Amino acid sequence: MERKQRQEKLLTMLKSSHEFKRTEDLAEALQISRRTVFNDIIDFENNGYVFEKKPGLGLRLNSIPQKLENDKNLWPISSRRSEEVKTLLIQGKTVTIQSLAEENMVAESSIIADFTWIRETILDDSTASLVGNEKGTYISGSELQWQKALIALNNYIIQTNNFSFDSPKLIEKFSEYYSTDVVQECNNMLRSLKDFNLYYVADYYALNMLNALIVLCYRIQNGHHHEIYKSSLVYDEANSLMYYLLAKDLLHNISIKLPLEFTEEDIRYLAIYLDVNRINFEVTKPKIDPIYEQLTKKMILQVSEAVGIDLNTDKVLFQNLYLHVAPMISRLKNNISIKNPMLDEIKKQYKVMFDLTWLITGSISTALDVTLTEDEIGFLTLHFLSALERHEKSHRVLVLCPNGTVASSIIASQIRRILPPLDIVEATSKEEIKHINLEDIDLIVSTFPLDQDKVPCVVVSNIITQSDLTNIEAVYRKKLAFPKRNSVKNTGVLEKYLKRKNIYISDDDDISQAQILKKLSDSFCNGGYVTKEYYSSLIEREKNGGTDI
């Protein structure tokens, strides 16, 4: 989530209640760390916001800066400006100052003032731009920038009219700007989500979702589609895939009522929007299937035992995992396959977690007589990765090189060998660093000095040396800390398997992996642990993902 969007949401939560709020509750609601909440509160205080803080109770917002209370720009849009916004932003037409002045019977200076108001109030550096040339004045920008501008317009309408998701006149007002069928269908779809075992955590999340969905569907209806979007970091892009299936279902259900033809890029955009805005959905208690509930809890328990971190009380993980498992089983039983667009990257970047998830989900295959695909395993893996990051048990390390990601990837592969296996190590270039939110990064390893002091940074040589690795490890231990060796509870899960006679050690450099696996499987078979078919299944399993967990 971008800093501006996150802080706006945090302020909305603090303004909406006069009760004290604990930082851990705020962090959980926004799905960010407590550290990020503390940093945002400090930013607010530096800009004039006043908070009352009480130990054990939390904090509450007491007053906002006077300049914000007296903001004269924050007034409902006049009828003339409203029509200008519709012509430029909604219809995408080119206008001239002279024609608008004559049409509205006002001086050209009034129209110029209107354009200035649109630039300063609705548009910003991240949205489409209002530009002018000899042909006239028009909106220019990519599809992403154009939709950001429309979302900003909707936010202005919501703010100036003090609308909530349940405001009676909300749909009527949006229908003044967008086609009524799009506004009504998007509204109906979101309000009927409870029929799909879903409900919203908070009202402002629902309003954000309605805003973006109306804009997206309206643009699709008029033949506009998103371009291919790819984040510079694999984790950020992969993380949004947890919302991919939900985004696809939302657009599909809307297209049943409206003549919309959406593209893969439109789905990916909506998934990313759901992710960065932390749109949360939860399972309603009466509609939880006890079979899928037990399967979900069993998976969480087994992963908790395997990684030594208690995820059993993570409500977000249970909700997200359950919402994936239930329809997943239905798809598998009906031989319906889905494609995970980032499967190769997930298997490469998060091999340990992918393999662990594959092994643990074997119980689902056995219990329900279905065969899980790699694509489904990839989706499940992301849920566990996200949970580990929420619990701050995994760290994100960014590797930078000036000339591109190839050199960075080489360094990243060497760094992975000295850091905990659940840490996320990604490579990028000097050019891409400006597009990355460094607040989400815990450590930077760079071959050149960086002008920033928010994230610990280790400068290394272009060809990384043992001295560099030692320095990285030292900074990591000092700033982030390795997991304590005795911090993992001994659950006894492995004790019955780790017997001396079952451990094979060889100093033969010429022995192959297949030969080692054959020796081990023969030994296990003779000991009565496995059947004769175990070796062939082991080889097949190795093709799909490593067994070296």
- The top-scoring range by mean pLDDT among 146-160, 335-349, 466-480 is 146-160
Type of residue at 262: F
- Taking alpha carbons only, the member of 546, 540, 548 closest to residue 347 is 546
Is residue 276 within 8 A of residue 238, CB to CB? The reply is: no
Put residue 288 in one of left, alpha, beta given phi > 0 → left and psi -120 to 50 → alpha: beta
**Count of other CB atoms within 10 angstroms of residue 196:** 17
- Name the packing angle between helices 244-257 and 264-276 (round to 10°): 120
Type of residue at 62: N
Rounded distance between C-alpha atoms, residue 223 and residue 217, angstroms: 10
Is residue 501 within 8 A of residue 527, CB to CB? The reply is: yes
Rounded distance between C-alpha atoms, residue 387 and residue 378, angstroms: 15
The pLDDT confidence band at residue 344, using thresholds 50, 70 and 90, is confident
Q: What is the pLDDT of residue 486?
A: 41
Q: What is the pLDDT of residue 442?
A: 87
The pLDDT confidence band at residue 513, using thresholds 50, 70 and 90, is confident
Q: Where in the chain is the domain with CATH 3.40.50.2300?
A: 396-479
Taking CA 11 as the corner, what is the angle to CA 6 and CA 13, rounded to the nearest 5 degrees? 95
- Between 3.90.1150.10, 1.10.3720.10, 1.10.10.10, 3.20.20.220, what CATH number should domain 3-69 receive? 1.10.10.10
The pLDDT confidence band at residue 93, using thresholds 50, 70 and 90, is very high
Q: What is the pLDDT of residues 379-390, one digit of tens each?
A: 899 889 888 877
Residue 446 vs residue 434, higher pLDDT: 446
The pLDDT confidence band at residue 276, using thresholds 50, 70 and 90, is low
Share of the chain above pLDDT 70, in %: 82
**Count of other CB atoms within 10 angstroms of residue 520:** 17
Q: What is the pLDDT of residue 216?
A: 96
Whole-angstrom CA distances from 19 to 42, 60, 65, 165 are 20, 6, 20, 22
Q: Which of 20-24, 119-123, 533-537 has the weakest average pLDDT? A: 533-537
Taking CA 36 as the corner, what is the angle to CA 52 and CA 321, rounded to the nearest 5 degrees? 115
Bridge partners of 216? none
- Edge-to-edge strand list for the sheet holding 424-429: 424-429, 396-401, 443-446, 457-459
**Regarding beta strands 457-459 and 443-446, do their DSSP bridges make them parallel or antiparallel, or are they unpaired?**
parallel
Q: Spell out the alpha helix ranges (H) of 54-169.
A: 66-69, 79-85, 97-104, 108-121, 143-161
- Taking alpha carbons only, the member of 307, 267, 309, 316 closest to residue 30 is 316
The pLDDT confidence band at residue 139, using thresholds 50, 70 and 90, is very high
- Name the packing angle between helices 315-333 and 374-390 (round to 10°): 180
Judged on CB neighbours under 10 Å (0-12, 13-18, 19+), 491 is exposed
Is residue 427 within 8 A of residue 412, CB to CB? The reply is: yes
Rounded distance between C-alpha atoms, residue 468 and residue 192, angstroms: 56
The secondary structure element, H or E, covering residue 410 is: helix 405-416
Residue 116 vs residue 405, higher pLDDT: 116
Torsion of CA 444, 449, 450, 452, to 10 degrees: 90
Look at residue 37 and tell me whether its pLDDT is greater than 60.
yes
Q: Where in the chain is the domain with CATH 1.10.10.10?
A: 3-69, 79-141
Q: What is the pLDDT of residues 185-227, one digit of tens each?
A: 999 888 876 555 454 445 666 788 889 999 999 999 999 999 8
Q: What is the pLDDT of residue 262?
A: 92
Look at residue 432 and tell me whether its pLDDT is greater than 80.
no
Domain 396-479 architecture = 3-Layer(aba) Sandwich (3.40)
3-state SS of the chain: helix, strand, coil percent to 5? 55, 10, 35
Residue 115 vs residue 166, higher pLDDT: 115
Q: Which of 236-245, 416-425, 433-442 has the weakest average pLDDT? A: 236-245
For range 286-295, the mean pLDDT: 78
Bridge partners of 95? 137
Q: What is the pLDDT of residue 66?
A: 59
The 3-state DSSP class for residue 531 equals coil
For range 151-174, the mean pLDDT: 88
Q: What is the pLDDT of residues 356-383, one digit of tens each?
A: 898 888 777 777 788 888 988 988 998 8
Q: What is the pLDDT of residue 84?
A: 92
Rounded distance between C-alpha atoms, residue 286 and residue 202, angstroms: 20
Q: What is the pLDDT of residue 245?
A: 78
- Between 1.10.274.100, 3.40.50.150, 1.10.10.10, 2.40.128.20, what CATH number should domain 79-141 receive? 1.10.10.10
The 3-state DSSP class for residue 136 equals strand
Residue 435 vs residue 277, higher pLDDT: 435
Look at residue 166 and tell me whether its pLDDT is greater than 60.
yes
Q: What is the pLDDT of residue 70?
A: 47
**Regarding beta strands 136-140 and 129-133, do their DSSP bridges make them parallel or antiparallel, or are they unpaired?**
antiparallel
Whole-angstrom CA distances from 405 to 174, 398, 456, 524 are 44, 11, 20, 44
Whole-number average pLDDT of the chain: 80
Residue 320 vs residue 298, higher pLDDT: 298
- 3-state SS of 43-55 is HHHHCCCEEEEEC
Look at residue 413 and tell me whether its pLDDT is greater than 60.
yes
Q: What is the pLDDT of residue 369?
A: 82
Look at residue 400 and tell me whether its pLDDT is greater than 70.
yes
Q: Which of 97-111, 203-217, 282-296, 450-464 has the weakest average pLDDT? A: 282-296
Share of the chain above pLDDT 90, in %: 19
**Count of other CB atoms within 10 angstroms of residue 340:** 22
The pLDDT confidence band at residue 73, using thresholds 50, 70 and 90, is very low
Rounded distance between C-alpha atoms, residue 209 and residue 205, angstroms: 6
Q: What is the pLDDT of residues 299-323, one digit of tens each?
A: 999 999 888 888 998 888 888 888 7
For range 434-453, the mean pLDDT: 84
In 394-468, where do the E strands start and end?
396-401, 424-429, 443-446, 457-459
> How far from the centroid of its chain's Cα atoms is residue 167's Cα?
29
Q: What is the pLDDT of residue 229?
A: 58
Look at residue 179 and tell me whether its pLDDT is greater than 90.
yes
DSSP state of 167: -
